[in-house]
Structure 1
Amino acid sequence: MKKKFGKVAIALATLLVIAGCGNSNGQSNESKTVEGTGAGKHGDIKVAVTFAGEKIKDIKIKDQKENEVLSEPVYKELKNTILSQNSADVDVISGSTATSEGYLAAVKDAIEKSGITLAAVKASAKKTDKIADKQEYDVVVVGSGGAGFSAAIEAQEAGKKVVIIEKMPTVGGNTLISGGEMNAPGNWVQKKLGIKGDSVESYYEDTMKGGDNLGDPKMVRILAENALNSAEWLKDEVKVDFLDDQLFQFGGHSYKRALIPVGHTGQEVISKLKKKAESLKVDILVDTKADELIQDDKGKVTGVKATYKEEQPVEFHAKDAVVLTTGGFGSNVEMRKEYNPEYDERYMSTDTEGTTGDGIVMAEKAGAALTNMESIQTYPVANPKTGVISLLADTRFDGAILINQEGQRFVEELERRDVISKAILAQTGGYTYQLWNDDIDAISKTKEAHEDEYNELIKDKLLVKADTLEEAADFFDINVANLKKTIEKVNAYAKSGDDKDFHHRGGLVSLEKGPYYIEKAIPSVHHTMGGLVINENTEVLDAKGNPIKGLYAAGELTGVIQGSNRLGGNAITDIITFGRIAGKTTGEL
């Protein structure tokens, strides 16, 4: 009774205030602040909305766990839009949809709780801030992922005036939403953990073999020889924090050699690269879509035609070079089907929505040669509902097993991604379950690092935590008798060190003790290995093998390094290594 009386008293008090200080519509002119909550991508977003009469005057973030880079335009631009329109019925920020929806839901929750009917605001013409129609730089970098930032930093440090243009509202590209792990043979964590025997040669051989020996040996050799230096550059110069007591052994690798950034995501990498670039005064323009390369009468690339904020045509003139780092085409279904009809609408993608092959298309129109375009990779363990990569499931690199609906293993868990994906698609329903226990999670530490994903999967009933195998199997209607037999064999193989069924190269881990975790997953398009032909200086080549003057490229839009399949942990090594080479090369022009 006391609790109910309190609510009634508050309600009466509120009514008295409104009655005493009302405007022509009977609503208060006084300022009041109400909190609201909405579900973001990484948990609840809590805001405090301040009203004055019928208008929203301010919005402050009270609590949130969203990606720092992706949420920046949401909390800034979306806030300004809401205030100017006096409404939360506005469009989301492209590339930050889940965070935008959570933010808007929180604001709407506060509006509803306030009981205020917001005043209609006369629609005004959209105002877009303008920039100079023609801009002059030494080097223009197109794309703001790891390759773009690396190129820009190196070129700026060499004394060049550099700009990065990015079509999305935020920087980062696929690097930002990746796990951020980076292969580097002979790294400092290997030494600390006592891992011996790894070498540049071993890494080179793994990468060549992993791509069916279709990568350019000369380019793969450059990758292998510069991998450790690239990692040390990130650690020492860019100040990226890597875990000092843990490594991953991705499928197809002979050793645990993948460094793991703090937080187990690319946010650590991108946020530090962005900070470094800003400290060097590199200009960074988002919402700036590159449309076409500018060439002189001799074919030299001299700049980029772009569109700023979807409205303003802008030309970026490059005195020395244009560096393309726009990524692959994993999110472009039509382009995927053009080069490999297998990867049609049936496949979702782990990539950002901006991964549409723009740089490849622009460069081809300028005369660039393409290679290996049919080679498209799926990530084997992705969310069946969204297609997003499961970082929680990185436990696979520390002993988690894959089973089918019948409760049986069907592939080595540390095989190549393409091999595992094909094996999954051949199973009942074209999906798999990944199973692990707390002992494995204690090694992998993914539940702690990806608590938001864990909670999301539990909520969507794509993951179950259970004390017994029977309980876990029952949740997904897995054949429990077969599952028990599978686990008995795994435990025996873990003890003997010999996986007689699939020869697990990392060594199986005992699954005798619960609690157990079982996650449902499917393959999702993840990486496109094909793209532009480049040489050791990252110059883009034409069909005759000659460099197109003024044009350079690095990262996933190049097609000469990964062959038919990219091994896990090689993308970050690739983009940092060749991004830096592009920056250094153009810095010397």
Structure 2
Amino acid sequence: MKKQLCAILTAVTTGLLLTACSTASKTQTVEGTGTGKHGEIKVAVTFKGNKIEKIKVLSQNENKVLAKPVYNQLKDTIVAKNSTDVDVISGSTYTSKGYIAAINAAVKKAGITLKTTKTKSKSTGPKIGKTNHFDVVVVGSGGGGFSAAIEAKKAGKKVAIIEKMPTVGGNTLISGGEMNAPGNWVQKKLGIKGDSVKSYYKDTMKGGDYLGDPKMVHILANNALGSAKWLRDDIHVKFINDQLFQFGGHSYKRALIPVGHTGQELVTKLDKKAKSLKIPIYTNMKAKSLIKRNDRIVGVKARYQDKKNVTFNAKKAVILTTGGFGSNVKMRTKYNKEYDKRYKSTDTAGTMGDGIVMAQNVGAKLTNMKYIQTYPIANPKTGMISLLADTRFDGAILVNQEGNRFVEELERRDVISKAILKQTGGYTYQIWNDKIDGISKTKAAHKAEYNELIKQGLLYKADTIDELAKDFKIDPAALKATIKKVNRYAKTGKDKDFHHRAGLVSLAKGPYYIEKAVPSVHHTMGGLVINEKTEVLNKKGKAIPGLYAAGELTGVIQGSNRLGGNAIADIITFGRIAGKTAGKL
């Protein structure tokens, strides 16, 4: 009996050991799904026992540039630690969370428990010394920063870009990427005549209530087309060759549209060009202060990953291209109490006004700081700009809760935003049909946003006006009356209510789309005073030696209000001027 019991126990023990060994060495690949910023992220995770061996993204719709550190750096950290209990990538929070959720779903499906492994993080960027020496140091890696760095490098200077976020691109990356250029090649193809540098200058000055520096706005107007051609011919940015936007406040359709309808096309190509020129880009590198010696700016003190102090000496110039302060509520309310935490922002998390503060600390003069712009059509839940709603530039209308139009849809952004805030609930509905979408091609360009808005209950598609009104509880009779009037004005070419400058488009046929939207802080017009060489001026109007700036952190171009499509023209034009100026030092 004892022998039989021993034999049974031995067999059971052996079986358990074999099962344990089998489980510990078992290899399996399991799929999991999570929700990112732009829809589902689907991954396949390969496990060996209780350890993650490999993670592969099967499908996703995230921004390619912002997602890159998630699918590379974050992936490597998760595999190395064998844990999903990791920090998200700053600036890519929603993508990070969706990616982690997808991996956790796979872990749960695999029926395993991960055991964390201690590991040291590895740097994937260029080697970083405590002190680094360059001719030109560019702070910020948006369109302005890349343009400055590329021009300075082509002039023979040793150049570096430092960027506080984990990814390059700044607001340029998440923008629509449209760029005003009077007399451009698409206008000629479409037969648009009459536009000129003069008319563009007048529109920009008037759009900013004549508070922009006339000399600087002249430089913008005279160089915008050349900057667009530089992007097209030297940087190889692809623009749509048969479509333009006419943003509010402009006399003509003059805004070039990049392929994909976002700034991702610009940033990807600028980044590629910088890499081909071997310009080092230090991400996760937050500039903290400017180094001043003998009244000259000679470098930047920075901090890497908030762990290591790093000095960047600049023998010739420091060029600031750090953007505005749209995401900094404290700074916004310092200069204009209206724009408090009630307002969300379309900007990246890094748009905190760092460059303005650093320059101010070495004596730089500021101007127009109280002028803060909201983008009228943004997501009420996230504050994100709605690129899908670019249909407004091709005929979509805005109505209030009562079903009535209340403003010209191509007015200035600040005018539309203020008009929206006066309506019931402080929101608007944008309405368009397939005819208008066929002109704008926005649904095809922004499928992820389209699906996300539907999921959030902020966008509906309907076959009839009655159904459309029902979706957001608008009085159907009032809305039908408004649409009937729009159709009549579209036919006659005269908008008797709001004088739509491009002419309304018929909404006689469905299907229809209706989107709920609110204004969101989008651009800060104020900033540093610069001259035609992009030198930063002090409070006495004298240039601060060694310090240059371009883009949204400057305050002399846009006046009280920036017209749509002017930001890209601004940052590329003056970024290039800054780089060329530094290249001659």
Q: One fold, TM greater than 0.5?
A: yes
CA contact (8 A) 1:31 1:52 kept: yes
Instruction: Give the alignment of 1:296-315 within 5 angstroms.
Output: 296=293, 298-315=294-311
Contact 2:80 2:119 survives alignment (8 Å) = no
How far apart in 2 are the matches of 1:54 and 1:33?
Answer: 12
Q: How many residues in Structure 1 have an aligned counterpart in Structure 2?
A: 569
Cα distance in 2 for residues equivalent to 1:496 and 1:19: 85
| C-alpha contact 1:27 1:116 (8 A) present in aligned 2 | no
CA shift, 1:109, in A, is 1.1
1:233 is matched with: 230
The equivalent of 1:409 in structure 2 is 405
- Call closer, same or farther: CA 1:149–1:305 in 2, change over 3 Å: same
In structure 2, what is the equivalent of residue 570 of structure 1?
A: 566
1:135 is paired with a residue of what secondary structure?
strand
Q: Is the 8 A contact 1:377 1:527 kept in 2?
A: yes
Aligned match of 1:181: 178
Q: Distance in 2 between matches of 1:19 and 1:78?
A: 36
Q: Counterparts of 1:21-36 in structure 2 under 5 Å?
A: 22-23=19-20, 27-36=23-32
For residues 35-74 of structure 1, what are the alpha-carbon distances to aligned partners after superposition, in whole Å with 9 as ceiling and x for unaligned? Answer: 2111222222221111111111111222222211101110
Alignment equivalent of 1:83, drawn from 68, 79, 85: 79
Provide the rounded CA distance (Å) in 2 between the counterparts of 1:514 and 1:50: 47
Equivalent position of 1:445 in the other structure: 441
Q: In the alignment, residue 213 of structure 1 is paired with which amino acid?
A: Y
Q: CA deviation at 1:102?
A: 1.3
Counterpart-to-counterpart distance in 2, 1:500 and 1:131: 63
What does residue range 544-559 of structure 1 map to in structure 2 within 5 Å? Answer: 544-559=540-555
Partner of 2:334: 338
Tell me whether 1:145 sits opposite 2:142 in the alignment.
yes
Kept in 2, the 8 Å contact 1:398–1:444? The answer is yes
Q: Which moved more, 1:332-341 or 1:101-110?
A: 101-110
- Asked if 1:538 corresponds to 2:542, the answer is no
In the TM superposition, what is the alpha-carbon distance from 1:139 to its structure 2 partner?
Answer: 0.1
Q: Are 1:250 and 1:397, in contact at CA under 8 Å, matched by a contact in 2?
A: yes
- Decide which of 38, 43, 47 is 1:51's aligned counterpart: 47
Q: For 1:356-505, what aligned pairs fall within 5 Å after superposition?
A: 356-505=352-501
Relative to 1, partners in 2 of residues 1:145 and 1:21: Cα closer, same or farther, differing over 3 Å? farther
Report if aligned partners of 1:292, 1:362 keep a CA contact under 8 Å in 2.
yes
Q: Does 1:199 align with 2:214?
A: no
Q: Which residue of 1 aligns with 2:259?
A: 262
Supply the distance in 1 between the matched residues of 2:64 and 2:119 (Cα, whole angstroms): 31
SS in 2 for 1:520: strand
SS of alignment partner, residue 256 of structure 1: coil
Q: Deviations over 1:16-37 (max 9, x none)?
A: xx9785336x734122211211
Q: State the alpha-carbon separation in 2 of the partners of residues 95 and 160 from structure 1.
A: 31
Shift of 1:125: 6.4
CA distance, structure 2, for counterparts of residue 188 and residue 124 of structure 1 = 55
Equivalent position of 1:3 in the other structure: none
Q: Kindly state the Cα deviation for residue 124 of structure 1 after the two structures are TM-superposed.
A: 5.2
Q: What's the counterpart of residue 6 of structure 1?
A: none
8 Å contact kept, 1:219–1:536: yes
Is residue 526 of structure 1 aligned with residue 500 of structure 2? no
SS of equivalent residue, structure 2 residue 514: strand
Q: Take 1:337 and 1:526, find their aligned partners in 2: how far apart are those partners? A: 15
> For 2:211, what is the secondary structure of its paired residue?
coil
Q: Contact 2:77 / 2:121 at 8 angstroms: preserved in 1?
A: no
Residue 464 of structure 1 aligns with an amino acid whose one-letter code is Y
- In the alignment, residue 62 of structure 2 is paired with which amino acid? E
Could you tell me which amino acid in structure 2 is paired with residue 142 of structure 1?
Answer: V
Whole-angstrom CA distance in 2 between matches of 1:375 and 1:465: 37
Distance verdict in 2 for CA 1:58–1:537, change over 3 Å: same
Q: Deviations over 1:262-309 (max 9, x none)?
A: 00000000000000010001110100000000000x210000000011
SS at match of 1:185: coil
**Structure-to-structure mapping, 1:265-304, within 5 angstroms:** 265-296=262-293, 298-304=294-300
Q: Is the 8 A contact 1:40 1:99 kept in 2?
A: yes
In the aligned structure 1, how far is the partner of 2:159 from the partner of 2:70?
Answer: 27
Q: 1:21, 1:28 within 8 Å by CA — same for their partners in 2?
A: no
- Specify the SS of the correspondent of 1:305: strand
- The match for 2:12 is none
Name the CA distance, whole Å, in 1 between partners of 2:320 and 2:116. Answer: 45
Matches for 1:28-177 after TM superposition, within 5 Å? 28-121=24-117, 123=118, 131-177=128-174
Aligned to 1:321: 317
Shift of 1:201: 0.2
Please name the residue that 2:4 is paired with: none
Describe the SS at the equivalent of 2:432: strand
The answer as to whether partners of 1:433 and 1:521 remain within 8 angstroms in 2 is yes
The aligned amino acid for 2:217 is: V
Q: In the alignment, residue 216 of structure 2 is paired with which amino acid? A: M
Q: 1:348 aligns to what?
A: 344
Per-residue Cα deviation, 1:148-193 (whole angstroms, up to 9, x for no partner): 0000000000000000000000000000000000000000000000
Helix, strand or coil at the partner of 1:346: coil
Report the aligned-residue RMSD: 1.3
Change (3 A) 1:52 1:43: same
Q: Deviations over 1:497-526 (max 9, x none)?
A: 000000000100000001110100000000
**How many percent identity over aligned positions?**
72
State the secondary structure of the residue aligned to 1:22: helix
In the other structure, the counterpart of 2:5 is none
Q: SS where residue 20 of structure 2 aligns?
A: coil
Separation in structure 2 between the aligned mates of residue 520 and residue 375 of structure 1, nearest angstrom? 26
Give the match's secondary structure for 1:337.
Answer: helix
Q: Tell me the secondary structure at the aligned position of residue 419 of structure 2.
A: helix
Give SS of 1:282's match.
coil
Q: Is the 8 A contact 2:143 2:267 kept in 1?
A: yes
- Output one character per residue of 1:419-448: Cα deviation in whole Å (capped at 9) or x when no partner: 000000000000000000000000000000
Match for residue 211 of structure 2?
Answer: 214
C-alpha separation between the residues in 1 aligned to 2:530 and 2:76?
Answer: 43
Which consecutive residues of structure 2, in runs of 5 or more, have no partner in the other structure?
A: 1-14
SS class of match (2:19)? coil
Q: Which 5+ residue runs of structure 1 have no aligned equivalent?
A: 1-17
* Distance in 2 separating the partners of 1:40 and 1:241: 27
Letter in 2 for 1:241: K
Q: Structure 2 CA distance, aligned partners of 1:167 and 1:571?
A: 21
